A and B are shown apart, each in its own frame.
Chain A
Amino acid sequence: DVKVTQSSRYLVKRTGEKVFLECVQDMDHENMFWYRQDPGLGLRLIYFSYDVKMKEKGDIPEGYSVSREKKERFSLILESASTNQTSMYLCASSPPWTGVSYEQYFGPGTRLTVT
């Protein structure tokens, strides 16, 4: 079974702190994604990566950066956390696009609260 793990289920940080969210997948997937989920807004893509050291901005990259030094690990960084970044953060991975299916595998999520 595909397993995507996230470093923390719950996290509380103060405004202005630098925050690291880690995601690890064990299926050798090329693609990895970071989403945030907010009530009424659904899932919104922050960044994604289709290879080591490669990254692309999603729909809402402002205030975030990412790092992918190894294939299995994709980190989301909040350089200076703000209260409007309080949210549920979901990581996902997927194999390369095959032309058939675009199924993504999700981690359990990290609920981040910024006070």
Chain B
Amino acid sequence: SQELEQSPQSLIVQEGKNLTINCTSSKTLYGLYWYKQKYGEGLIFLMMLQKGGEEKSHEKITAKLDEKKQQSSLHITASQPSHAGIYLCGADPRSNFGNEKLTFGTGTRLTIIP
């Protein structure tokens, strides 16, 4: 079973609209990382959340980690074509998924239409 589930798997949004991507863990997270991947390219680090209830923002992207530290959301306000790509959440290895490596979610493919 997948330890980190992302939803939705894909999202098509009109430019200018807001959207939310969710990442749910089967275990309490020690920390949660959000990455963005442009189509056909490598991953770019967006932000990291560690504390329950923590919220961070960068430009029009806001990420939150719930109080129980089992769910994170990534919210984009007034989406732009530059936001298109695949968004992946990653669990800090101290979340103890049985290994010492970063565990990734399945990804959410975001398409922005004009």
Q: Which residues of A contact B (CB under 8 A)?
A: 4, 9, 33, 35, 37, 40-45, 48, 58-59, 88, 90, 92, 97, 101-109, 111
How would residues 95 to 114 of chain B score, 1 for a CB under 8 Å from any chain A CB and 0 otherwise? 00001111011110000000
Q: SS class of chain B's interface: helix, strand, loop or mixed?
A: loop
Task: Check if B77 is an interface residue, CB within 8 A of chain A.
Answer: no
**Chain B interface extent, by class:** 20 to 34
Q: In the docked arrangement, what's the CA distance between A41 and B102, Å?
A: 15
Q: Which of these, A37, A40, A109, contacts B9 with CB under 8 Å?
A: A40
Q: Which residues of B contact A (CB under 8 A)?
A: 2, 4, 6, 9, 31, 33, 35, 40-45, 48, 88, 92-93, 99-102, 104-107
Determine whether the beta carbon of B48 is less than 8 Å from that of A33. Answer: no
By a CB distance below 8 angstroms, the chain B residues around A90 are 42-43
Determine whether the beta carbon of B43 is less than 8 Å from that of A42. Answer: no
Determine whether the beta carbon of A58 is less than 8 Å from that of B101. Answer: yes
Could you tell me the distance in whole angstroms from the C-beta of B10 to the nearest C-beta in chain A? 10
Of the candidates A9, A44, A104, the one having the most CB atoms from chain B within 10 angstroms of its own CB is: A104
By a CB distance below 8 angstroms, the chain B residues around A97 are 93, 100
> How many Cβ-Cβ contacts under 8 Å join chain A to chain B?
55
Q: In the docked arrangement, what's the CA distance between A65 and B37, Å?
A: 26
Determine whether the beta carbon of A43 is less than 8 Å from that of B88. Answer: yes
By a CB distance below 8 angstroms, the chain A residues around B105 are 42
Determine whether the beta carbon of B104 is less than 8 Å from that of A103. Answer: no
Q: Which of these, A44, A48, A102, A105, contacts B31 with CB under 8 Å?
A: A102
The answer to whether residues A42 and B101 also contact, given A90-B43, A102-B33, A102-B93 and a CB cut-off of 8 A, is no
Q: In the docked arrangement, what's the CA distance between A107 and B102, Å?
A: 16
By a CB distance below 8 angstroms, the chain A residues around B106 are 40-42
